[in-house]
């Protein structure tokens, strides 16, 4: 069944590929969506326009997910405007690749700040704020299982996300708030496609038994399930990758 039309959702990274698909999918269920963005306000407003153009309700709000003061203000702004928050989806993240022996530590710290600290900061506020019946959905990646060379630094950040999320699910015992992780496989987004030639993309597509890349809409369907009807799914990592691993 679809989500209740009076639910409020915050989608971090909501102007990106998967984030946009998630925001639009939740809005299609009647959820009011806050489309969060880090730096590209114009792209976030495009998502808002797409949602409102279909009769949905959405607003764009910006800020650095790793900045605890800004995130606290973001949660306060949403609560003051809409009366509460029911769903938080953390799609905000960056992916930088390279072998461990040569990986730039400044790049590692930058990725850690967004992917790990950012997820922790948002999850921390979600744990304090989400209403009964609410849902927190964080994002990992199927690269943890695939163990591909060049992905160690990125996979390390996603391993941290899985660990913190599954522990938080247990810490929220009795709150009637579900806490889960979605771990996409190769998905046709700008983040994934950047820097890959056609041969590499084709090879990755063939790895799945379904022999294609995932689409952002595939991931958004799983998020919509967790955000709405999946009240008996809690403390889990859902690998959404077409059977890849």
Which one is catalytic: 37, 151, 154, 239? Answer: 154
**Do the beta carbons of residue 238 and residue 180 sit within 8 Å?**
yes
The distance of Cα 137 from the centroid of its chain, to the nearest Å, equals 7
Name the DSSP letter for residue 208.
S
Q: Is 239 a catalytic residue?
A: no
Closest to 29 in 3D by CA, of 229, 195, 232: 229
Burial class of residue 62 (count of CB atoms within 10 Å of its CB; 0-12, 13-18, 19+): middle
Distance linking the first and last C-alpha atoms of the chain: 29
Strand, helix or coil at 240?
A: strand
The set of catalytic residues is 154
């Amino acid at each position: 069944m679809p989500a209740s039309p009076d639910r409020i959702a915050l989608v971090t990274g909501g102007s990106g590929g998967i984030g946009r698909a998630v925001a639009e999918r939740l809005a299609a269920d009647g959820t009011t969506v806050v489309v969060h963005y880090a730096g590209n306000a114009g792209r976030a407003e495009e998502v808002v326009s797409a949602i409102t153009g279909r009769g949905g309700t959405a607003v764009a709000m910006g800020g650095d997910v790793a900045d605890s003061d800004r995130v606290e203000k973001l949660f306060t702004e949403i609560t003051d405007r809409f009366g509460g928050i029911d769903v938080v989806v953390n799609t905000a993240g960056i992916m930088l690749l390279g072998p461990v022996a040569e990986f730039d530590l400044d790049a590692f710290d930058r990725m850690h700040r967004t992917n790990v600290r950012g997820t922790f900061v948002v999850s921390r506020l979600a744990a304090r704020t989400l209403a009964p019946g609410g849902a927190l959905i964080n994002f990992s990646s199927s690269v943890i299982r695939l163990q591909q060379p060049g992905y160690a630094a990125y996979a390390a950040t996603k391993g941290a996300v899985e660990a913190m999320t599954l522990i938080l699910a247990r810490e929220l015992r009795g709150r009637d708030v579900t806490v889960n992780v979605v771990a996409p496989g190769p998905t046709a987004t700008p983040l994934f496609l950047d820097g890959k030639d056609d041969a590499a993309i084709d090879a990755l597509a063939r790895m799945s038994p379904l022999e294609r890349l995932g689409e952002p809409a595939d991931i958004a369907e799983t998020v919509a399930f967790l955000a709405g009807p999946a009240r008996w799914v809690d403390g889990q990592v859902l690998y959404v990758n077409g059977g890849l691993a």
